[in-house]
Structure 1
Amino acid sequence: MTETHASMTVDRTGAVAQVTVTGPGKGNAMGPDFWRELPLVFDALDADPEVRAVVVAASGRNFSYGLDLAAMSGVLGSLFSGEAGLAGPRTGFLENLKMMQRSISAVADCRKPVVAAVQGRCIGGGVDLISACDIRFASADASFSVREVKVGIVADLGSLQRLPAIIGDGHLRELAMTGKDVDAARAERIGLVNEVFADAEAVLAAAHACAAEIAANPPLVVQGIKAVLEDERADRVAGGLRYVGAWNSAFMASEDLGEAVTAVLSRREPVFRGR
């Protein structure tokens, strides 16, 4: 049976559930519906005693283009207003950001192990999402980018906090400071993904095979393993999310941010001036 939401679907087959991101933005870009629905879906899966593992997938050719800038203009809009320097707009931005952080954290906090199956492009918020998963597989055509620097933003939804334990500090600094694309082969070399498969069909099958193998083990023991592993980094991740939220609320409003968003919407290269 398929449970349909505005931005995702949920299918339960035996002990494994599949959450499929479906848009509605181009390239499964993450708009208001995604941020509202993600924690509701994962809270329900966490509470479902029949579900022992979860696969996160995406429809279409690409996993996700990340934050839907046009659809989320209401969240960023206060930072472009003439009152952007006042406490009210900055506080409003921070509250919206905390909501989005909690959405991604709902995936990490789910007691059931989560396996990501990535095909095509996985950008910005897409990397935040898979960073919150326990295991990541990719198709050979997948590419990954911590792209926020390109749009005048310090990545603030979990990549900077969760990726050090996954790919190491040096690789993360390179990805976050350049905003470059890395292909599936390099993603596997640096540990961002566990294994690479030929195509989208193969990677989804591999993710389900892994989830089924996990689901066949004693569920409380599996959940205990995840709880112990998460405990080691929980305080560091939570502290990092608080800090980046405060930092972006204080410093993100800039001419460079406005230039970045305008350039993206106009499909041209931005010119940053450090103002």
Structure 2
Amino acid sequence: MTDWKAFTVETTDNVAQVTLTGPGKGNAMGPDFWAELPQIFGQLDADPQVRAVVLAASGKHFSFGLDLPAMSPLFGPLLADRALAAPRTDFHNHLKGLQASVTAVADCRKPVIAAVQGWCIGGGVDLIAAVDIRYASADAKFSIREAKVAIVADIGSLNRLPAIIGDGHLRELAFTGKDIDAARAEKIGLVNDVYDDAEAALAAAHATAREIAANPPLVVHGIKDVLAQERVDVVAAGLRYVAAWNAAFLPSEDLTEAITALAQKREANFKGR
């Protein structure tokens, strides 16, 4: 392993802990996050000493999601030249790269257990949708918030969550962009269990990881592979479709209004243009 800017990685007794460390506020997902995530999980997948992975986060919150200021170069050309093919094509290519970063977590042959505390918003939900098991602290809150910033969620939550929480719950969360607490998340199956605090959730994740690591690793790989076959093609097709959809339709006055409203700390006024 190397020195990472957005993560730390530590391995003990066949269990690796990958910890989000920022540098954005609330572990917001900036360029370093997207570049390093697939590298880390590619290395963990190839490391025979690693049999399970715990995904955690530093600080009070798991992640505030996409770091919009840091990632603004991704949107700027698209909004400035929205009638042109070149910026749309560039955006489409960048978006497929972001999708591939999270897909690296899902494709890792080692089971991944997430421990979530505080806010888990937007891209944070995309990320935990790609893991195998999710635990949460009692203060955890979740939101598929992209609709509130005039974006169709495009990194995986819309594609992976139907198999996790069911179609109706996903539609409610995605259409409204509402926040739900840990109790509701457990009720709908977004998380497996809820613990008193972040430390207890992380300890539970490590306990489960150690149980997994004690089993024959090739059998565990096989179980994950067999379980993935039911939905891998559906997820891949959905990711391709939403990448093309957003490259075509994401530029809008509503998106500009959403970004402006966030910067000005006010409610957005969407007009469907």
Aligned equivalent of 2:118 = 120
Q: Kindly provide the CA deviation profile for residues 138-182 of structure 1, in whole angstroms up to 9, marking residues without a partner as x.
A: 000000000000100000000000000000000000000000000
Alignment of 1:27-176 (within 5 A): 27-81=26-80, 83-176=81-174
Spell out structure 1 runs of 4+ moving beyond 6 A: none
Cα distance in 1 for partners of 2:188, 2:77 equals 38
CA contact (8 A) 1:116 1:135 kept: yes
Alignment of 1:235-246 (within 5 A): 235-246=233-244
Aligned equivalent of 2:19 = 20
CA contact (8 A) 1:142 1:183 kept: yes
**Superposed displacement of residue 4, structure 1:** 3.4
Kindly provide the amino acid, as one letter, of the partner of residue 173 in structure 2.
L
- Return the match for 2:220 from 219, 222, 225: 222
**Helix, strand or coil for the counterpart of 1:171?**
helix
Aligned equivalent of 1:234 = 232
Alignment root-mean-square deviation, CA: 0.8
Alignment of 1:170-249 (within 5 A): 170-249=168-247
**Helix, strand or coil for the counterpart of 2:231?**
helix
**Superposed displacement of residue 85, structure 1:** 1.4
Cα distance in 2 for partners of 1:104, 1:110 equals 10
Kindly provide the amino acid, as one letter, of the partner of residue 67 in structure 2.
D
CA contact (8 A) 1:27 1:60 kept: yes
Kindly provide the amino acid, as one letter, of the partner of residue 39 in structure 1.
P
Instruction: Flag structure 2 segments of 5+ consecutive residues without an equivalent.
Output: none
- TM-score, normalised by the number of residues in structure 1: 0.98
**Helix, strand or coil for the counterpart of 2:223?**
helix
**Superposed displacement of residue 87, structure 1:** 0.5
Cα distance in 2 for partners of 1:213, 1:120 equals 26
Instruction: Flag structure 1 segments of 5+ consecutive residues without an equivalent.
Output: none
**Helix, strand or coil for the counterpart of 1:61?**
coil
Kindly provide the amino acid, as one letter, of the partner of residue 69 in structure 2.
A
Cα distance in 2 for partners of 1:148, 1:211 equals 31
Cα distance in 1 for partners of 2:169, 2:85 equals 36
**Helix, strand or coil for the counterpart of 2:210?**
helix
**Helix, strand or coil for the counterpart of 1:4?**
coil
Cα distance in 2 for partners of 1:265, 1:3 equals 35
**Superposed displacement of residue 136, structure 1:** 0.1
Cα distance in 2 for partners of 1:265, 1:241 equals 29
**Superposed displacement of residue 3, structure 1:** 5.2
**Helix, strand or coil for the counterpart of 2:230?**
helix
CA contact (8 A) 1:3 1:11 kept: no
Cα distance in 1 for partners of 2:75, 2:198 equals 33
**Helix, strand or coil for the counterpart of 1:80?**
helix
**Superposed displacement of residue 109, structure 1:** 0.2
Kindly provide the amino acid, as one letter, of the partner of residue 42 in structure 2.
D
Kindly provide the amino acid, as one letter, of the partner of residue 105 in structure 2.
V
Kindly provide the amino acid, as one letter, of the partner of residue 207 in structure 2.
A
Cα distance in 1 for partners of 2:70, 2:264 equals 15
Cα distance in 1 for partners of 2:3, 2:19 equals 10
CA contact (8 A) 1:54 1:112 kept: yes
